[in-house]
């Protein structure tokens, strides 16, 4: 079964840092691009970042550029999101999602259940 | 920054047909944006419906379809059912490794 499981969320003060993890199983992790997508409480989905299959290419939404860093460890089948200088508006459930390629370009599937990040003093 | 636009809300009668759209604040959506569509009910993980404009994800019934209508991507649901009542999100590829989700459409079946 293809599965993504996030961890690492929690309560952090404004200006603080947090590292999220996404453990992948059931597929060849090293062959797929991966994304982080977040959803603030009661709000819509927002794309945050993506990384290519070997970790050499990354992109970010303007709202997190310079503060967040996406990375991966293909030996551990794990995706990461290092979040620094956190703000209240970063409060959200953070989902990882497998990206498509070739004929499935643009596909986000599957999605993990998400991990809640709350930024508050 | 370009905004991806969706109707905030929409309604359809049971058995009826509804089309949700996904546009750009500036410009037209084409297949080059690889539009995909996701359904989400409260507290649940998004479910993939359509990717690459019109390819159904595994298990999605053929009463749900994707297309380009005019200058927007479109998701059409025919024979609407009660369990179609959900939030629907589109996402577009903007190039240079950037994707942008629309704000979502809340679909009511009544």
- Per CB-CB distance under 8 Å, the chain A contacts of B52 are 100, 103-107
Please indicate if any CB of chain A lies within 8 Å of the CB of B57: yes
Q: Look at A44 and B89 and tell me if their CB atoms are within 8 Å.
A: yes
Strand B9-12 to B105-109 pairing: parallel
Nearest to B52 among A37, A105, A109 (CB): A105
**The token pair that represents A21 in the structure block:** 């993890």
Q: What token pair was written down for B54?
A: 């019109």
Q: Which residues, including other chains, have CB under 8 Å from residue B37's CB and lie 6 or more apart?
A: B20, B22, B48, B49, B50, B51, B66, B73, B75, B88, B89, B90
Side-chain half-sphere CA neighbours of A54 within 13 A: 1
DSSP assignments along A99-119, one per residue: EP-GGGTT-EEEE---EEEEE
Taking the Cβ of residue B35 and every Cβ of chain A, the question of whether any pair is shorter than 8 Å is answered with: yes
Q: Does A105 touch chain B (CB under 8 A)?
A: yes
Test A107 with B36 for CB contact under 8 angstroms: yes
Task: Return the pLDDT at B74.
Answer: 98
On whether any CB of chain A is under 8 Å from the CB of B60, the answer is: no
Residue A104 has pLDDT above 90, yes or no: no
Instruction: Supply angle C-alpha A114, A49, A26, rounded to 5.
Output: 50
Instruction: Give me the pLDDT at residue A10, please.
Output: 98
3-state helix, strand, coil in chain B (%, to 5): 5, 50, 45
Note the pLDDT tens digit of each residue in B16-57: 999 999 999 999 999 999 999 999 999 999 999 999 999 999
Name which residue leads in pLDDT, A47 or A102.
Answer: A47
Span B68-109, pLDDT tens digits: 999 999 999 999 999 999 999 999 999 999 999 999 999 999
Q: What percent of chain A has pLDDT over 70?
A: 100
Give pLDDT, residue A101. 82
pLDDT tens column, A38-97: 999 999 999 999 999 999 999 999 999 999 999 999 999 999 999 999 999 999 999 999
| pLDDT tier for residue B1 given thresholds of 50, 70 and 90 | confident
CB contact under 8 A, B101 and A59: no
Question: How far is Cα B13 from Cα B78, in angstroms, rounded to an integer?
Answer: 10
Find out whether A71 and A20 touch, Cβ atoms under 8 Å.
no
């Amino acid at each position: 079964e293809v599965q993504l499981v996030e961890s690492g969320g929690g309560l952090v003060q404004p200006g603080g840092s947090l590292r999220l993890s996404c453990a992948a199983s059931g597929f060849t992790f090293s062959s797929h691009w991966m994304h982080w997508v977040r959803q603030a409480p009661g709000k819509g989905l927002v794309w945050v970042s993506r990384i290519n299959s070997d970790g050499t290419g990354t992109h970010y939404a303007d709202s997190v550029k310079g503060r967040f860093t996406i990375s991966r460890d293909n030996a551990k089948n794990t995706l990461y999101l290092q979040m620094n200088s956190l703000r209240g508006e970063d409060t959200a459930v953070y989902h990882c999602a497998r990206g498509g390629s070739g004929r499935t370009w643009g596909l986000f599937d599957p999605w993990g259940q998400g991990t809640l990040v709350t930024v508050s003093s | 920054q370009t905004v991806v636009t969706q109707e905030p809300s929409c309604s359809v009668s049971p058995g009826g047909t509804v089309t949700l759209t996904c546009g750009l604040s500036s410009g037209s959506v084409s297949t080059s944006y690889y539009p995909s569509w996701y359904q989400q009910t409260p507290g649940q993980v998004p479910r993939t419906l359509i990717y690459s404009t019109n390819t159904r994800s595994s298990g999605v019934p053929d009463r749900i379809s994707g297309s380009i209508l005019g200058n927007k991507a479109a998701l059409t649901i025919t024979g609407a059912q009660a369990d179609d009542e959900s939030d629907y999100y589109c996402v577009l590829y903007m190039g240079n490794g950037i994707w942008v989700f629309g704000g979502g459409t809340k679909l009511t079946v009544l």
